[in-house]
Amino acid sequence: MTITSTADPVADAPGSPASPARKPGSLVAQDVHAWFGDHQVLSAVDLVMAAGEVTALIGPSGCGKSTFLRILNRMHELVPGAALAGQILLDGQDIYDPSLRPIESRRRVGMVFQKANPFPTMSIYDNVLAGLSLTGQKVKRRGKDNEADALVEHSLRSAGLWDEVRNRLGTPGGSLSGGQQQRLCIARSLAVRPDVLLMDEPCSALDPTSTRRVEETIRQIASEVTVVIVTHNMQQAQRVSDRCAFFLAAEGLPGHIVEQGSTSDVFERPRDERTADYVNGRFG
Amino acid sequence: MTTTTVAPAEAPTPAAPPATRPVPERIRIGGLGPDLVLHVGVALSGAISLAWLLYERMLPTSGTIGFWIFAYALFLILLVAASSTTLDRLGVIDRLVGALVATAGLVMVSALVGIVVFTFVHGKDALAHTNFFKDTMAYSGPDAALDQGGIYAAMVGTLEQVAISVVVSVPLGLATAVYLSEVRGRLARVVRVVVQAMTAVPTIVAGLFIYSLVILQLGHGRSGLAAALALSVSMVPVVITTAEVVLRLVPNGLREASLALGTTQWQTVWRVVLPTARPGLVTAVLLGVARIIGETSPVLLVAGSTNELNYDPRHGPQLSLPLFVFNGLRTPIDVAITRAFGAGVVLLALVVLFFALARIIGGRTPGRLSRRQQRRLARRLGAPT
Amino acid sequence: MSAETPPTLELVRPVPQRRSLSSRPTTSDRVFVSGSRLAAIATLLIMGLIGYFLTVGAWPALEQQGWQFFTEKQWLPETGQYGIAGLLEGTVLVGVIALIVAVPVSFGAALFISEYAPPALKRPLVTLVDLMAAVPAVIYAIWALIFLQAQLLSVAQWLSVHLGGALPFLTVKTPDSPSSYTSSAFIAGVAVGFVIMPTITSIMREVFSQAPVGEREGAIALGATKWGMIRAVVLPFGRAGIIGGIMLGLGRALGETIVVYALISPIFDWTTHPLESGTNTIAAHIASRYSESNGNAFAGLLAAGMVLFAFTLVINTAAGIVVSRSRSGAATEI
C-alpha cells in the first residue's frame, strides 16, 4: 500500500467522471481501521469509489474485504464488539457522524448479500417494495397514478428479472430459483433508489448461467448507482468492474489494500508482486 | 491507478501494513443512540414528577399500582414527545416499541425477583430458628411461636417421595427414551404420540388417577408411596421427552462408526450412545426432579394430611414441603403464614439447587449454542471472507 | 464378464430376487431390544390405565347425568343434580384472563431477550425465565394470596367503578366494599397469568431467535428500524411459535390447580362478573371436593377430570401441530 498523499482522493481519481461532486453516490474511505474486540481486521484503508463506477474488492479469504464492505453501510456495527476508526464520506459527508443515525446511511447505501435473502412470505411484488414500506415511504398502490406498479416494473427490469416474473408477481419470493432470488434482492435494493449498491460475493452461490445474468445486471445498473462488489472470482472482477482494489492480510496482521487502480492496470500491469501472484491464481 | 508513488516490486515485504500514520481514534458505534439516554431520562423524570403532582390530586383514586400505571402512561407520552424532536415517525414508533418491549422484560424479571424476595422476606423469621429445620408440628399448634415446631417431617416426606419417584420414573423414562431413539419402528411411533398425550395430563388428574387406583381400587390408604407414584406420572413424560431429544443429538456417525467396528447394537448403545449423551441425560433427570419437587395438587389428593413425622412412605399419611406451604396458606394465622413462607424458601432453594446442578452437569439445554460456537458464529458473520 | 458383452445385457438377464437384509440379532441385542420395548410398553400401560380409570370411574356419573352433566351448573351429587357447566365456564374464563395478562408480557419479554437485550444479558435472562418456570405453583399461590391480591383490589375497584358503566360485566354488587373484589376470577386469572408467563416466553423466544440472519440483515440493509426488521422478518417467521406458545400457555392455565384453589371462593354458577368475588374451575373443584366424595360424587369428579384432560390434550396437540408444521418449528421442541 503506497498512498503517500491523501489530500483529496477524489481529485486523484482519474477514472472518475469529470465532475464527481455533481453526481451523487461517490464514496470515499479515509484511513479506515476496524476491530472485532481486540482483534484488528483492517488497517489504514483508503479507497475512492467514484460515482457511476463499479469497484471490485478482491483478495484472499480473511483479508477483511467483506468487513470493509459492511463498514460502508454501517452493517459492521451489528456484530457485538465491532469497532472502527477513520471516515467514510458519502458525497462528502461522514456517514459515521454522531448526528446521523445508521438507518439513514443504510437507506442511501443498499446491500446485496452472498446468500439471496428475499422475504420468503412476501410476494415478489411486495419484496420489491419492502424497502419502501420498511422505511415508511408511501407509494400509491391503487388508482390511476399507480406509482407502485411502475416502480416494481422498473426495478425488476433494471435487475433483469422482469420478463421471468411479470406473470407471477403475486407468488412468494421464496418460490424463485437461486439466481432469480438474487436478482430479486437486487431489484429490492434498487427500488429505494440508493446512491450506492454494495454486493458481497453476489454470485458465489449461483450456477454459471445465473452468474452471467447477474453480471449483466451489474453492468446495466452501473450507470444509475455506484457499485462496490466483493468477489473471489478474478474473471468476474475483470468482466464487471472499472476499478479494482486488492486486499491482503499477512499472517496475524490486519488486512489492508496492497494495490488499487483501474481494473485493466491491476490485472494486466500489476505493480506489486503479490497482486500479480494473486490475480494470476498463484495463491489465495 | 490512483496512487502517487509505487512500492518497488522487488520488495514484497509481507509484514508491512502502512502503520506509518497514527491510527485515528476509534468511533463509538452500535450501543444506545446518542439522544436515547437523554430522551428516556427526560421522559422518566418528567413522568414521575408529573404523576406525583397530578395523581393524588386530580384523580379520585389512590394506590401504588394505580400510581405506577399512571406514571408509566405519562412516561410513554413524554417519550414519544421527546423522541419526535429528532426522529421521524418510524423512528418514534421504533423507540416506543423498544420502550414497551424493555418494560415487558423488566416486568418479567421483577416478577421473579419479587416472588423470590417476597418469599424470603416473609419467611426469614421462621428460618432464623434452628428448630424450624429440626422439629415437627406434631406437638405445636398452628399458632405456636416460631421457636417451636418446624418442617422436619415435611422435608423427610419430600426427600422420600422425590427419591421414590426418581427410582420409578428414571429407569422407566430413560429406557423408553432409548427405545424411541434407538429401536424405532411402528410401536415407537405409537409410544411417542402417547407420551405427548401424557405431558398434557394435568397434575390434578394424575393425582385423581392414583387416588382411584391405589386408594380406592387397591385399598392401600393414603401414603407417601401413593404421592410418589402420582409424582412419577408427571415426571415420566418429562424425562422421556427431554432424554429423547438428548439421544437424538448424538451424531449418527458415532453409531455407524461403532457398528462398523463390528459391535452389536447393545454394545453401541451402552458404550457409545449413552456415555456421549450422559450430561444431557443427567440434565433430563434433574429437570424432571425440579419439576415435581414443588408439585402440590397430586400430593394433596393422595398423601393424606398429618403433622406427625412419618419415615415410612408405605404406610400412613406423610407430609411434604409443598403440602406444608399449602396448609400454611390455608390457615389465617400470621405465624402459620410465616412458617409457610419459610418452607417456601426451603422449597425454592431445593428447586434452584437442582436447576443449577442440571445447568452445571448438562452444560446447557440441548440445541443451544455454546459460548465458543456463538463466538465462531459472530466471527463468521462479521468477517465472511 | 468378457469385453464383448453386449450393452443390453441388463435387459436380457432377469433381475435376481431381492435378498433379505435382516440378520439374526445376537442374544444381547435381543435382550436389549425387548428390555427397552418392555419399558415403552409399561409407559403405554400407565397411560392406558389413566385412560381406563378415568373412563370407567367416570362412567356412572356420565350414565346417570347424560348431557345434563355438561349443562348443569349446580354440584349436588346427593340429589343427583350436578354438572360442570359452571366449572367449565369458570375454567375457560380464568384461562382467558391469564392469557390476557401473560401474552403481552411474554411476547414483549421474548422479543426483548432475543432482539433487544445486550448480548451479555441474554444468557442470564434465558436462565431466569427457565428458573421462573421451575418455581413451584404453591409459591406463586402464597405470593398471590398475600401480596398480589392486595395490590389488585384497587385495580379491580377502579375498573369496576370507571368502566362498569360501559361494560356491565365489570360491575359488582357492592362496589364500595373492597371485599367484593377478593377471591375473584380476575385475581385468580392474573395469578395464573404469572404462572404461565415463563412457559409462553420461552417458546416465543426460542422461535424468534431462530429467525434467519440473512433475512434480518436484508431488512436492516434496506434501512429498516429494529421494529421494522422485527415486523418484516422475525414476526412472520415466528408466527407459529407465537400461536403455539399461547396455546401451550392456555393448556397449562386450564390445568392449574393450586393457585386457583388457594385464591378463589367457590361458586356453582356461571361466573358472569369476573371482578366479583367467587368463581370455580374444574381443577380447583376436584382439589376441594375429592376427600368428601364417594360413589357418584367421585365419579362426577373423575368425569370432570376427564373433560379437563380432553381439553388440555386437544390444545397441546394442536399447539404441537401448529409449531411443527411451520417453517420455524422444525427445530423447536415444545
Q: Tens-of-pLDDT digits for all 334 residues of chain C?
A: 445 555 555 567 788 888 877 777 788 888 888 889 999 999 999 999 999 999 999 999 998 888 888 988 888 888 888 899 999 999 999 999 999 999 999 999 999 999 999 888 998 999 899 889 889 999 999 999 999 998 888 888 888 888 888 888 888 888 888 888 888 999 999 999 999 999 999 989 988 998 899 999 999 999 899 999 999 999 999 888 899 899 989 999 999 999 999 999 888 888 888 888 889 999 999 999 888 877 888 899 999 999 999 999 999 888 888 877 776 544 444 4
* Cβ atoms within 10 Å, residue A207: 11
- Using an 8 Å CB-CB cutoff, list chain A residues near B37: none
Question: How does strand A196-200 pair with strand A243-248?
Answer: unpaired
The proportion of chain A whose per-residue pLDDT surpasses 70, expressed as a percent, equals 90
Among the partner-chain residues B25, B88, B381, the one whose CB lies closest to the CB of A85 is B25
Q: Which domains does chain B have, with CATH numbers?
A: 36-127 (no CATH), 154-376 (1.10.3720.10)
Q: Do A106 and C229 touch (CB under 8 A)?
A: no
Among the partner-chain residues B14, B24, B378, the one whose CB lies closest to the CB of A80 is B378
CATH topology of domain C82-331: MetI-like fold (1.10.3720)
Q: Is A205 on the interface with B (CB under 8 A)?
A: no
- Using an 8 Å CB-CB cutoff, list chain B residues near C43: 172-173, 176, 191, 194-195, 198, 236, 240
Enumerate long-range contacts of B65-70, CB under 8 Å, 24 or more apart.
Answer: B65/C151, B65/C152, B65/C154, B65/C155, B66/C154, B66/C155, B66/C158
Q: Do A104 and C212 touch (CB under 8 A)?
A: no
Whole-number Å distance between alpha carbons of A283 and A251 = 14
* DSSP H/E element including B233: helix B224-249
Q: Do A134 and C215 touch (CB under 8 A)?
A: no
Among the partner-chain residues B191, B325, B330, the one whose CB lies closest to the CB of C43 is B191
Angle between helix C296-325 and C27-65 (nearest 10): 120
Please identify, in words, the CATH class of the domain defined by A25-117+193-279.
Answer: alpha beta
Q: Which of B269-278, B334-343, C284-293 has the highest mean pLDDT?
A: B334-343
Is the confidence at residue B288, as pLDDT, over 50?
yes
Size of interface B-C (CB pairs under 8 A): 291
Q: Do B179 and C117 touch (CB under 8 A)?
A: no
Among the partner-chain residues B64, B208, B265, the one whose CB lies closest to the CB of C32 is B265
- Using an 8 Å CB-CB cutoff, list chain B residues near C198: 108
> Over chain A, what is the mean pLDDT?
85
As given in the structure block, the three cell numbers for residue C96 are 382467558
Whole-number Å distance between alpha carbons of B17 and B14 = 8
pLDDT in tens, A262-280: 999 999 998 888 999 998 8
* DSSP H/E element including C76: strand C75-76
- Minimal Cα distance from A39: which residue of B? B379
Q: Is B195 on the interface with C (CB under 8 A)?
A: yes
Q: Sign of the C-alpha dihedral, residues A220, A225, A229, A235? A: positive
Is the confidence at residue B130, as pLDDT, over 50?
yes
Residue A281: strand pairing partners: none
Q: Do A115 and C214 touch (CB under 8 A)?
A: yes
Is the confidence at residue A5, as pLDDT, over 50?
no
Q: Looking at the complex, report in whole angstroms how far the Cα of residue A265 sits from the nearest Cα belonging to chain C.
A: 32
Q: What is the pTM of this model?
A: 0.86
Asked if residues B303 and B157 have their Cβ atoms less than 8 Å apart, the reply is yes
- Minimal Cα distance from A7: which residue of B? B4
Q: Looking at the complex, report in whole angstroms how far the Cα of residue A110 sits from the nearest Cα belonging to chain C.
A: 6
Among the partner-chain residues B172, B202, B267, the one whose CB lies closest to the CB of C308 is B202
Asked if residues B303 and B224 have their Cβ atoms less than 8 Å apart, the reply is yes
Among the partner-chain residues B105, B199, B233, the one whose CB lies closest to the CB of C108 is B105
Q: Do B93 and C225 touch (CB under 8 A)?
A: yes
Residue from C26, C50, C332 whose CB has the most chain B CBs within 10 Å, to mutate: C50
> At a CB cut-off of 8 Å and minimum separation 6, what does C145 contact?
B329, C262, C263
Q: Do A135 and C119 touch (CB under 8 A)?
A: no
Whole-number Å distance between alpha carbons of C205 and C16 = 55
- Minimal Cα distance from B3: which residue of A? A3
Q: Do C46 and B108 touch (CB under 8 A)?
A: no
Q: Which residue has the higher pLDDT, C187 or B380?
A: C187
Q: Is B63 on the interface with A (CB under 8 A)?
A: no
Is the interface score ipTM higher than 0.90? no
The number of helices, as runs of H, and strands, as runs of E, in chain C is 14, 2
Asked if residues A270 and A276 have their Cβ atoms less than 8 Å apart, the reply is yes
The number of helices, as runs of H, and strands, as runs of E, in chain A is 11, 10
Q: Do A120 and C327 touch (CB under 8 A)?
A: yes
- Minimal Cα distance from A102: which residue of C? C223
Which of B 149-178 lie inside 8 A of C, CB atoms?
171-173, 175-176, 178
Question: How does strand A243-248 pair with strand A54-58?
Answer: parallel
Q: Is A36 on the interface with C (CB under 8 A)?
A: no
- Minimal Cα distance from A204: which residue of B? B385
Asked if residues C184 and C276 have their Cβ atoms less than 8 Å apart, the reply is yes
Letter for the amino acid at C217? E
Is the confidence at residue A83, as pLDDT, over 60?
yes
- Minimal Cα distance from A132: which residue of C? C222
- Using an 8 Å CB-CB cutoff, list chain B residues near A85: 23-27
Q: Looking at the complex, report in whole angstroms how far the Cα of residue C220 sits from the nearest Cα belonging to chain A.
A: 8
Which of B 252-311 lie inside 8 A of C, CB atoms?
264-267, 269, 287, 290-291, 293-297, 300-301
Q: Is A202 on the interface with B (CB under 8 A)?
A: no
Q: Is B24 on the interface with A (CB under 8 A)?
A: yes
Q: Do A36 and B379 touch (CB under 8 A)?
A: yes
Tell me the mean pLDDT in the region B96-101: 94
Tell me the mean pLDDT in the region B298-305: 87
> At a CB cut-off of 8 Å and minimum separation 6, what does C231 contact?
none
Tell me the mean pLDDT in the region A212-240: 91
Question: How does strand C75-76 pair with strand B26-27?
Answer: unpaired
**3-class SS of residue B27:** strand
Q: Do C111 and B178 touch (CB under 8 A)?
A: no
Domain edges within chain C: 82-331
| Cα angle for residues A181, A185, A187 (degrees, 5° grid) | 115
pLDDT band at A19 (very low <50, low <70, confident <90, very high): very low
Q: Looking at the complex, report in whole angstroms how far the Cα of residue A207 sits from the nearest Cα belonging to chain C.
A: 20
Whole-number Å distance between alpha carbons of A282 and C204 = 50
Whole-number Å distance between alpha carbons of B286 and B109 = 24
pLDDT in tens, A151-205: 999 999 988 899 999 999 999 988 898 889 999 999 999 999 899 999 999 998 8
Q: Looking at the complex, report in whole angstroms how far the Cα of residue B101 sits from the nearest Cα belonging to chain A.
A: 20
